[in-house]
């Protein structure tokens, strides 16, 4: 299949997740184009499937991703698509956090008008060593709220790489199913 991956990142964890997906997809023989949503605008037209990934910062997805999805919603709604939401909240099972996550995701999808085939909530990372004091302070508070690590002398990666790889399998199944239903109806 022809797969397009579009991502929005600040500290690089979402890009890392997308790189793993790109490598897995290539190993499975798929053709992959990958782009930062803030880079050149690559239309989703002509792709069999699209993966769009964004991290959450201050309870919002990346503006570049929001613009991209809004602009291409019509084509995206006619293409198999996964939305990958990357956050610290997804690292743990704090019910309040998941309620917030659900609201943030629903708001994003209703604002942009996109109806992805499925949404995946993926845990991101805390890179205390890369933050200035202000970001460290913010992240410590978010971490405390979400039962994550508040010791700022270390970095923490919460991403479940097994879950990330299963996203590709889900996409492959969805594409296969859509091709076989096309055959039945033609």
Residue numbers at the binding site for ligand FMN (CB under 6 A) = 9-14, 55-59, 86-89, 124-126, 135, 138-139, 142
| Separation of CA 1 from chain center | 20
Query: 80 near 49, Cβ under 8 Å?
Result: yes
* 67 Cβ contact list (under 8 Å, min separation 6): 37
* Smallest distance, ligand FMN to C-beta of residue 145, A: 9
* Smallest distance, ligand FMN to C-beta of residue 10, A: 4
- 118-123 vs 80-87, strand pairing mode: parallel
Please tell me the distance from the alpha carbon of residue 79 to that of residue 74, in angstroms, as a whole number: 9
**Which residue number, 72 or 140, has a Cβ lying nearer to ligand FMN?**
140
Residue number, nearest CB to ligand FMN: 124
* Smallest distance, ligand FMN to C-beta of residue 183, A: 39
**Which residue number, 58 or 183, has a Cβ lying nearer to ligand FMN?**
58
**Which residue number, 62 or 112, has a Cβ lying nearer to ligand FMN?**
62
Structure tokens belonging to residue 3: 């797969």
* Smallest distance, ligand FMN to C-beta of residue 90, A: 7
Beta bridge partners of 51: 5, 82
């Amino acid at each position: 299949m022809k797969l397009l991956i579009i991502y929005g990142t600040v500290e690089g964890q979402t890009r890392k997740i997308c790189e793993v997906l790109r490598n897995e997809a290539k190993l499975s023989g798929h053709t992959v184009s990958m782009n930062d949503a803030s880079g050149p605008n690559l239309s989703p037209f002509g792709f069999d499937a699209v993966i769009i990934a964004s991290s959450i910062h201050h309870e919002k997805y990346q503006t570049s991703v929001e613009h991209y999805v809004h602009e291409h919603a019509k084509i995206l709604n006619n293409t198999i698509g996964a939305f990958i939401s990357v956050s610290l909240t997804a690292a743990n099972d704090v019910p309040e956090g998941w309620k917030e996550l659900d609201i943030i995701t629903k708001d994003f999808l209703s604002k942009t008008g996109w109806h992805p085939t499925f949404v995946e909530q993926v845990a991101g990372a805390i890179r205390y060593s890369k933050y200035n004091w202000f970001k460290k302070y913010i992240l410590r508070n978010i971490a405390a709220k979400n039962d994550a690590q508040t010791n700022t002398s270390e970095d923490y990666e919460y991403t479940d790489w097994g879950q990330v790889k299963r996203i590709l399998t889900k996409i492959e199944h969805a594409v296969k199913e859509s091709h076989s239903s096309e055959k039945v109806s033609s």
